[in-house]
Each structure stands twice: as structure tokens, then as C-alpha cells.
Structure 1
Amino acid sequence: MKVYITSVFVDDQAKALQFYTEVLGFEKKEDVPLGEARWLTVTSPQQPEGPELLLEPDSHPAVRPFKDALVADGIPFASFAVDDVAAEFRRLTDLGVRFTQEPLRMGPVTTAVFDDTCGNLIQLAAQ
């Protein structure tokens, strides 16, 4: 068993696509119209055939209170692996990304947490 698709709930798919591709560096994989929404996925350029991240609309009534509670408690919704958290922190900060946690070493792992502009906190992690 392996991960095929996982989701991040977003408040605006167009804004999310721009942020996840132009700022974070993911590449658009699928973009299929589904009425008012789209089946919209991105992948890592290092793993174009790897797991897909679905930029899923947060329109279900249960999603927004869940997202708001996570953000209020400072809990990241997803975690992305990077080679160097400090370098990625500098790169993203230079692009205007707002971090809620600067790089922090916790044993063998370094993490940082940023706001994805779509209602989520996302963690960067490196060993």
C-alpha cells in the first residue's frame, strides 16, 4: 500500500493553485472541471508520478470549523519534506510567505510552519 492522493482543503482553488505552484514549486497534474469546483491536483517536480495533492474545496459544512480549530491551535494540516528547512524558510520568506513557526530543531528533525493563504498551516520538515 502507498499514498496515491491526499487532500488539503482550500478556500479558493485558483488562489491555491497559484500559491502551490508559483510559490511552493509544485506542478499542476490534473485539472478537471466538476461543476463549480475542479478535480485539481499538484505533484512535486522531484516526484511527478508520485503522490498527488488534491486542492480540495472546503465547502463542506464540517471542514471550515475543523480548519479554523487547527489554525487557532497552531496545528499544521499537512507536512511537506524538504532537504533544508532553513534554506526553504529563507526562500519562502523572501517570497512573502508568513511563517507561524520559524525553523526549530526537535531532536533529529527540523520543522517550520507557514500559512498557505488558503486557510491552512503547513509544516516543513527535514531530518
Structure 2
Amino acid sequence: MNLTIHASFLPHDDPEASLAFYRDVLGFEVRNDVGQGKMRWITVGPPDQPGTSIVLDPPAANPGITDDERRTIAEMMAKGTFAMLLLATPDLDATFERLQAGDADVVQEPTDQPYGVRDCAVRDPAGNLIRIQEVR
């Protein structure tokens, strides 16, 4: 089997704040932006990886969930426990400086982890945890 990761979904509750974070702070390109108001599906990704994308989607738009489930998702997003993304960079310190300059919500500064990686963690505007590992 020959599989690749094409897209992964992360929830958002503020499309403009999400755009500012993923486009302006992380430097991802916007590949698609459909819908209107808070009901927008925004596809972003690294400019040098056209086949890999993140789709920022409004969880309230899912017709298959109940109001109680929507409330639970909103609560988990607010706590930063609903979704997570792991990114990689060859220069963690420079990436972290850019995150700080973009007023990212820092969870953990660059740290040498006991399991052998050096990484940091921030939250995106929707509360999603973004960990970034240094990969050389």
C-alpha cells in the first residue's frame, strides 16, 4: 500500500484569528477558504508541501452531533484538550521566537525532553495544542 497524509482536520471557532495564526505566524499558505462568517472551512499548509494540508473547520457545522456533543467539544477546545497537531522544524529556537513575536499562547518553551526530542508547545486561537519538534 502506498499512502500519504493528504489532510488533517482541526476545529476553529474564529476563522480570522485562525488565519492570522496559521498564515501570518506559522507561515502556511491558504489553499482554500469557503463558507462565510464563522462557518468557514479554511485549508492551509506549508508552501513547500503542496500535498499536505490542515483543514480548519467549524465543529458547530457537523450535522451528525447533538447539542450536548457540541457543548462538550466547545468546552474541550477551550481547555485545549480536543485536538493536537505535531509539527517539525530544523530550527526550534527561531520558530519559537516567531511564535512569541506573533503573541502565540505559549504552553512550553523549547525543552529537551527525557524521551529524546527537543520541542515546545503553543495553543492556536481555538485552543488546539500545537507541539513543534526540532528535527535535523
Structure 1 96/34 Cα, relative in aligned 2: closer, same or farther at 3 Å? closer
Moved over 6 A (4+): none
Q: How far is the alpha carbon of 1:78 from its aligned partner?
A: 0.9
The equivalences for 1:51-90 within 5 A come to: 51-59=52-60, 61=70, 62-69=72-79, 71=80, 77-90=84-97
Separation in 2, partners of 1:44, 1:113: 19
Q: Is the 8 A contact 1:17 1:55 kept in 2?
A: no
Deviates more, 1:80-89 or 1:34-43: 34-43
Q: Cα deviation per residue 1:62-107 (whole Å; 9 max; x = unaligned)?
A: 42233345x26xx971111111112211222122223110111124
Q: How far is the alpha carbon of 1:34 from its aligned partner?
A: 6.9
Q: Considering only aligned residues, what root-mean-square deviation do their CA atoms show, in Å? A: 2.3
Aligned residue-pair number? 123
Correspondence for 2:116: 108
Separation in 2, partners of 1:64, 1:20: 20
What TM-score does the superposition give when structure 2 sets the normalisation length? Answer: 0.77
Percent pairwise identity:
30
Q: How far is the alpha carbon of 1:32 from its aligned partner?
A: 2.2
Gaps of 5+ in 1: none
Correspondence for 1:11: 13
Greater Rg by CA? 2
Separation in 1, partners of 2:24, 2:37: 25
Q: Residue 104 of structure 1 aligns to which amino acid in structure 2?
A: T
The question of 1:125 aligning with 2:133 is answered yes
